[in-house]
A and B are shown apart, each in its own frame.
Chain A
Amino acid sequence: VDSGSDAQLLTALRAGDERAFVALVRRHHAPMLRLASSFVPNVAVAEEVVQDTWVGVLRGIDRFEGRSSFRTWLFRILVNRARTAGARERRTIAVGDTGAVSDTEAAVAASRFGGGGSWLSPPERWVEEVDDRLEAGKLAGFLRTAIEDLPDRQRQVVTLRDIEGLSSEQVCSVLEISESNQRVLLHRGRSRLRQALETRFGRPS
C-alpha cells in the first residue's frame, strides 16, 4: 500500500480501505506537523491541528476533485486550521506575522561589504567540507535545527519549497501569499541557512 501514489491511495480510501488512510497519514505526517508547528505555539497543538486536518480530509474527500494535487489541497486545509488554532492560542497575532513582507533584511550582513559594496569579508568555503568530511546524519541534524530557527514565515516557505518540493505556485496557494512575497521569504530563508552553514563549517579561503 505504501508505494501507491496519492491518487491511488485516495481511490482506495474512498472505497473504504483503512490501510490506504494509514499510508497517506504516514506519508504526509512529518511535513504537516512541521508546517503546523510554525503557526501554533507548541507541538501538542500542532498535533491537534494535524488530526483535525485529517478529519477534514475524511469529511471532504468526496468534494476533492483532483484539480490541484492532493498535497496542495491537504496543506491548504492544514494552514487554514493552523491559522485558526494559532489565533485562538495566542489571542492576538504578533505584529508582522500577517502583514506585508518588508524589504529590509539583507542576505548577507552589511558589515561584510566595504563602502563600495564589494566583499570585505568574502564567503568562507564550506561546500567541499560538507561534501568530503561530514557525516550525513550530523549535517541533517544541524540543518534541521537551522530551519527550526528561521522566522515562521520563512520556515514555512523554505519547508514547502525545498524540503517538500512544492512549486512556487503551489506554495502561494497553500499559504495564500503573493508570488513576490513568496520569493522574498524564500530568499531570506535560504540566505539565513547559507549563513548558518558558513558560520558552522566555513574556513577562510
Chain B
Amino acid sequence: MMRLRLWHRDLVCKQAVELVTGYLEGTLSRSDRRRYEAHLAGCPHCTEYLAQMRKTIELTGTLTPDDLTPQMQDDFIDLYRQWRAEGISG
C-alpha cells in the first residue's frame, strides 16, 4: 500500500506522457518501464493517453500514398528511355 503510493508519487502524469514513445519503442530502462506501468495501473487518464497514442500511430499507418498522375508517369518513361538511349548526361 505504502509502496504503491510512493510509486504513484514517484512519476507524475506530466512526466508519464513523455515516456510513452520510449515505452512503445521498448527503449525505457527497466526501472522506468516499471514506474511507468505502475503509474498506469493507478491512473485512468494516462492509460487513456497511451491508448490514444497507439490509435494515433495506427491511424497514421493506414494512410495510403497518393497516385502518380498519368502526366508524371509519362515524364518518368521519357526519363528512362533517354537514359537507355544515350545515358543521362551530367
Contacts and interface: CB of A to CB of B under 8 A. Distances in A.
A118 B12 CA distance: 6
Nearest to A144: B63
Interface in B8-63: 12-15, 17-18, 20-22, 25, 27, 45-46, 48-49, 51-53, 55-57, 59-63
A44 interface: no
B88 interface: yes
A152 interface: no
A54 B79 contact: yes
Contacts of A127: 51-52, 55
Interface string A36-79: 00000000000100010011001100000000000000000000
Interface residues of A, number: 51
Nearest to B77: A22
A163 B58 CA distance: 9
Interface string A119-152: 1001101110010000010011001100100000
Interface in A136-191: 136, 139-140, 143-144, 147, 158, 162-163, 165, 168, 183, 186-187, 190-191
B56 A194 contact: yes
Contacts of B56: 190, 193-194, 197
Nearest to B12: A117
29 contacts: A16-B84, A18-B80, A21-B80, A22-B77, A22-B80, A25-B76, A30-B67, A106-B14, A106-B18, A113-B14, A117-B15, A118-B14, A122-B45, A125-B48, A130-B55, A130-B59, A136-B62, A143-B63, A144-B63, A162-B57, A163-B60, A168-B25, A187-B18, A187-B22, A190-B56, A191-B17, A194-B49, A197-B56, A205-B48
